[in-house]
Amino acid sequence: MNFAILQFPASNCDQDALHVVQNVLGQSGRFVWHKENSLAGMNAVIIPGGFSYGDYLRTGAIARFSPIMQAVREFAAQGGPVLGICNGFQILCEAGLLPGALIRNRSLQFRCEHVFLKTATHQSPFTNKIPAGKILRLPIAHGEGCYFADDATLDQLEKDDRILWQYADANGQLTESGNPNGSLRNIAGLCNEARNVAGLMPHPERASENVLGSADGRLIFESWINWLESRMTQAA
Amino acid sequence: MSDPAITPELVRQHNLTPEEFDKIKGILGRAPSYTELGIFSVMWSEHCSYKNTRPLLKTFPTKSPRILVGAGEENAGIVDIGDGLAIAFKIESHNHPSAVEPFQGAATGVGGIIRDIFTMGARPVCAINSLRFGPIEGGGNAANNRRLFAGVVSGIAHYGNCFGIPTIAGEVYFDASYEGNPLVNAFCLGVLRHEQIARGAARGEGNPVFYVGPATGRDGLAGAAFASRDLTEESAGQQRGAVQVGDPFMEKLVCEACLELLATDAVAGIQDMGAAGLTCSTCETAARAGTGIEIELSLVPQRAPGMTPYEIMLSESQERMLIIVRAGREDEVKRIFDKWDLPWARIGQVTGTGQMVVKHNGEVVADIPARKLADEAPVYHRESSEPGYLKAVREFSLTSVPVSADPAADLKLLLAWPGIASKNWVYRQYDHTVRAGSVVCPGSDAAVLRIKGDSLPLGPANGSVVEKYIALTVDCNAAYVYLDPYEGAKIAVAEAARNLACAGAVPLGTTDNLNFANPHNPELFWQLKESVRGLAEACRFFNASVTGGNCSLYNQSPNGPIDPTPTVAMVGLIEKPAYITTQWFKDEGDAIILLGDAMDEQDPMRGLGGSAWLQCLHRLKTGSPPRCDLEKERQLHNTLRGFIACGLIKSAHDCSEGGLTVALAESCISQQIARETPRLIGANLDLSFAVTEGARLDALLFGETQSRVIVSVAPGDVVKVVERARILGCPAVKLGVVGGSELTIKAGAWEGKWPLAELHDLWWNAIARAMA
């Protein structure tokens, strides 16, 4: 599969994403500069973490206007899968491709630590290969990761089965203490109505190799590749 | 606007002595202009010239077959790590700016050291830091100490996190001597191939000189000179303008653009504009190449209107670089910096005159021999005399200290003492996992980082890079150094090397940050001299040559001088990933072994001199600190590494502050699985073998005898490990067994028992509670 990894000025998890795509998953991938305006030939898009445009004004607020985001909109509208990680999630919310917003952590401080995630649904390109009941252990690293939306939106997300991951404790319970940033309904990641665009605050690309203490993130990428391959088979 | 007249008063305000002024006149053959006076004052400040410390620094071991670029040659030293790869690393202080404006002071400290690393052509891949503040518990001055502590930590977090560099290790101490003068030492490490080393030299007559990065403003005017004076309330107020404002976003872009440009071979020389800004970068690059340099200030991008030549030359606006480009390759600079939307300007050229010539609208405002300015600063051999307080320190004996009535309670107090307590409140604010290389995160004796293809600057063959594992630590118990500068400095090095050994690493090199008080005071200079003697001896011993570093003098507030603090950052190489070792106990039933002596019988203080126990329980910072026998220490490290290589060691933790008992407790409680989820594993120990008639139990439990490591091994390996250690000349004794939900220690008739959940809570949350 051919992965596009977007590069905004001050993206800083771009290399990590490419490393996992190429060296861990054995797929092909390339960086796509924010001034480019085409995603031709790409099967999948990763919007990596970082501080795009310095996160001035608001996280992700400037990135949404970059030329490449127009191409991402078109790619997504045609059903192409897009995953936003951390700052990438913030950009997708700012761009209106995902509902809600990510606001400052409840602690008002940046938080870097490992968290436990419960996979709330397996019906998505990004969760289909995660074993039932498996609790993922992934690192977070953000100052603005508190997921916020109005009650009607949250209810709709639940009704549509669009919440992908929720912060939990080691046993998968959705506790207050397992929630690192105050996200409403412990939401760590979700997808759009068409289910092909998703975002999450934790970093699967930093937890895809045993040497880094957790390879749970790999399950997310493997789900994605599985979905891409079955879609190709169907098309053929 | 006309320049002020050069009066003796103006010279004094520039921190130059009448003798130094005469020397300047001798070099120029005339009186300096106002701009020239400013240039000399910053270049001849301690911060830039090391004029008070140079004779001492010459005593450091600075060579080894691994060192590719040595101390003082360039902006950072470079060490070979095999397979054509190398690392560049350095530590630098930002103490005075952080005292005045903690957030920006600390942030720009991180920015400055990152620039020093990518200036060498290396990709910055990790940061560590060493911080010191006044006490943070309780009322009074503690409120201000907390403000400084919180501000510094968030400043480091802001800059490092945004830049995208993992901050993976560090140390934090709290002591009244740092009140009003906190220490902020920031370290950065980068990776490159041998052939990618860039030089800060203005080579090639006729080559154009480019300025890249954001425009120059009035911020940070003469910061280097500010850092080279005592800090007073008045100076702090006046010098707020000397603190720069950092923009990590800009730094990230400048770094990526510079690495991209360096990959083109269009660059003849490159240097960041750090301390002393445009002044330092122009004269140093010319001095290194033996050339001259000529710049026109009206071409320099400027943020403020009407800046004078003096201001432009002395500004320390951040994130700026000076690049000497091979003539004919100018378009590549333009192409790459335009791609990154970064300002650039051609501001001059390299000449063959040896002169640093500065023009402003065509008029010469400075014309100085570059080499004399950069390399011929005055050198002072300062007077030294042993400080008076040391007599009382040496005479102090334990007879005046009551024997602990309740050692079980003492352990709890020690674990919650901010100097010993977990620093998670600090490192959870730092992104320590970005770049997908953090194998051992903060919270063990040393951090371990994986180096892989994308750790390098752009290059043709990054796909085939051999992965490497390096360990990093930064250490200094300044209470020991205060009580015995020579011995204390030796211990700082020994502890750093021990932490590396515990992680499974062999030392590659050292970078040190000498934080001391006013060198004009002979007693304070004696502290510096003796510390350097100890550092040099110990670095030589552990084959950890000094690759560079930083001196920060004049660290004192109106309350007095800081404790002498020679911070030691050491980097080591771990030969195989299988050797990577962490400090926490692993499996129930494993045996716990002490490598080293239970107590140093030769030490009249029994390891309690300068100890955390005396400081925390008795509010006493006195007594001769423990001795460090370097031969014994080296034996310990070699033995431990040998065992690790044989796969015998499951955990290894060094005994430092709080002694044996704190080290054992930490081995039980320090593994963190995830948020709010520690892994607690108990231990049952018997120290009765070391209990002798009339000996102090508190000294056995909390004494800080050096050269000791707690290891755990599989039950079947005990005999092998103990016997082999003894053959290798390293004392070894089994202390007990891993398991259960309590820590239990028996020593003769006494027994202590602690539920792990309680110990963990005290240790893990102490700093958060103090800061709440």
Taking only the tens place, the pLDDT of each residue in B35-50 is: 999 999 999 988 888 9
Classified as helix, coil or strand, B637 is helix
**Euclidean distance between CA atoms B623 and B483, whole angstroms:** 7
User: Given a cut of 80, is residue B240 above it in pLDDT?
Assistant: no
Is residue A191 within 8 A of residue A89, CB to CB? The reply is no
Please give the backbone phi and psi of residue B711, each rounded to the nearest 5 degrees, phi first. Answer: -120, 160
Q: CB–CB of B454 and A180 under 8 A? A: no
Mean pLDDT value across residues B392-410: 97
From residue A114, alpha-carbon distances to A136, B10, B759 in Å are 10, 56, 22
Please count the structural domains in chain A. 1
Judge whether B130 and B511 are in contact, CB under 8 Å.
Answer: no
**pLDDT by residue, tens only, chain A of 236 residues:** 999 999 999 999 999 999 999 999 999 999 999 999 999 999 999 999 999 888 777 777 888 889 999 999 999 999 999 999 999 999 999 999 999 999 999 999 999 999 999 999 999 999 999 999 999 999 999 999 999 999 999 999 999 999 999 999 999 999 999 999 999 999 999 999 999 999 999 999 999 999 999 999 999 999 999 999 999 898 87
Closest-approach residue (CA) in chain B for A142: B431
With contact defined as beta carbons under 8 Å apart, do B683 and B739 qualify? yes
Cα dist from B502 to A55, B579, B719, whole Å: 40, 10, 20
Distance in angstroms (rounded) separating the CA atoms of residues B441 and B449: 8
B174 contact A CB<8A: no
Which of A55, A86, A112 best probes binding to B when mutated, by most B CB atoms within 10 angstroms? A112
The one-letter code for the residue type at B675 is R
Q: Which domains does chain B carry?
A: 582-772 (3.90.650.10)
Collect all residues with Cβ–Cβ distance below 8 Å to B649 and sequence separation of at least 6: B581, B640, B643, B711, B712, B713
Q: Which residues 561-600 of B have a C-beta within 8 angstroms of A? A: 577
Could you tell me which of B538, B544, B551 has the C-alpha nearest to residue B489? B538
Written as six digits, the tokens of B669 are 């409680």
Site of tokens 């911020």: B219
For all residues of chain B together, what is the average pLDDT?
A: 95
Q: Does A211 sit within 8 Å of B453, measured CB to CB?
A: no
Cβ–Cβ under 8 Å, residues B477 and B492: yes
Residue B230 has a pLDDT of 66
Distance CA B116, CA B90 (A): 8
Q: How far is A222 from chain B (nearest CA, A)?
A: 18
Nearest CA in chain B to A168: B675
Does the distance separating the beta carbons of A23 and B439 come in below 8 Å?
no
What is the mean pLDDT of the segment spanning B477-501? 98
pLDDT given at position B227: 57
Surface-to-core class of residue A61, CB atoms within 10 Å of its CB (0-12 exposed, 13-18 middle, 19+ buried) = middle
CATH classification at residue A200? 3.40.50.880
Query: How many of the other CB atoms lie within 10 Å of CB of B362?
Result: 7
CA distances, B460 to each of A3, B79, B196, B394, B454 (Å): 21, 21, 11, 61, 12
> Is B452 in the A-facing interface, judged by CB distances under 8 Å?
yes
Q: Give me the residue from B157, B163, B340 closest to A9, CB to CB.
A: B340
The answer to whether the CB atoms of B674 and A170 lie below 8 A apart is yes
- pLDDT, one tens digit per residue, over B491-529 is 999 999 999 999 999 999 999 999 999 999 999 999 999
- Cβ atoms B663, B562 nearer than 8 A: no
- Identify the pLDDT of residue B237: 54
Structural contact between residues B563 and B520, judged by C-beta atoms closer than 8 angstroms: no
pLDDT class of B552 with cuts at 50, 70, 90: very high
Instruction: Give the C-alpha separation, B730 to B727, whole Å.
Output: 7
Nearest CA in chain B to A107: B429
Domain that holds residue A181: 2-235
**B651 and B583 Cβ atoms separated by less than 8 Å:** yes
How many CB atoms within 10 Å of residue A88? 31
In angstroms, the separation between the Cα of residue A109 and the nearest Cα of chain B is 7
Q: Which residue of A has its CA nearest to B125?
A: A12
Would the pLDDT of B243 be above 80? no
Q: Which tokens sit at B162?
A: 């945004």
On chain B, the residues whose CB falls within 8 A of the CB of A214 are: none
Q: How far is B512 from chain A (nearest CA, A)?
A: 28
Residue A6: in which H helix or E strand, if any? strand A2-7
Instruction: Return the active site residues of B.
Output: 47, 94
Task: Considering only the beta carbons, identify the residue of B252, B253, B675 that sits closest to A113.
Answer: B675
B402-435 pLDDT, tens digit per residue, is 999 999 999 999 999 999 999 999 999 999 999 9
Residues 6+ apart with CB under 8 A from B416: B762, B763, B766
Residue B632: which residues within 8 A CB-CB, separation 6 or more?
Answer: B596, B707
Contacts of B453 in chain A (CB under 8 A): 19, 23
* A104 vs B62: CA distance, rounded Å: 47
Interface test with A, best of B255, B336, B431 (most A CBs within 10 A): B431
Of B459 and B603, the structure prediction assigns the larger pLDDT to: B603
Between the two ends of chain A, the Cα-to-Cα distance in Å is 15
Helix, strand or coil for residue B705? Answer: coil
Expressed in percent and rounded to 5, the helix, strand and coil fractions of chain A are: 30, 25, 40
pLDDT digits 0-9 by tens, B9-36: 999 999 999 999 999 999 999 999 999 9
CB–CB of B434 and A206 under 8 A? yes
Cα of B499 to nearest chain A Cα, Å: 20
Residue of A nearest to B157 (CA): A110
Instruction: Give φ, ψ of B189 to 5 degrees.
Output: -130, 140
